[in-house]
Amino acid sequence: MVTHLHQRDVDGVKQTYPPTTAEEKLARKNELKTRGTLLMALPNEHQLKFNSYKNAKSLMDAIEKRFGGNVVTNSRMTPSWREIVSLAF
In sequence order, what are the beta bridge partners of 16?
A: 7
Q: Which domain range does residue 30 map to?
A: 21-88
Nearest to 26 by CA among 76, 89, 74, 71: 89
Segment 8-32 mean pLDDT: 83
Residue 59 lies in a domain: yes
Residue 2 lies in a domain: no
Number of domains present in the structure of the chain: 1
Q: Please report which confidence band the pLDDT of residue 33 belongs to, taking 50, 70 and 90 as the band edges.
A: very high
Residue 7 lies in a domain: no
Between 26 and 84, name the one with better pLDDT: 26
Residue 9 lies in a domain: no
Residue 12 lies in a domain: no
Residue 36 lies in a domain: yes
Q: Please report which confidence band the pLDDT of residue 2 belongs to, taking 50, 70 and 90 as the band edges.
A: very low
Residue 28 lies in a domain: yes
pTM for this model (two decimals): 0.54
Enclosing H/E stretch for 9? strand 6-10
Q: Is the pLDDT of residue 29 over 80?
A: yes
* Amino acid identity, position 29: K
Contact between 63 and 42 (Cβ < 8 Å):
yes
Residue 62 lies in a domain: yes
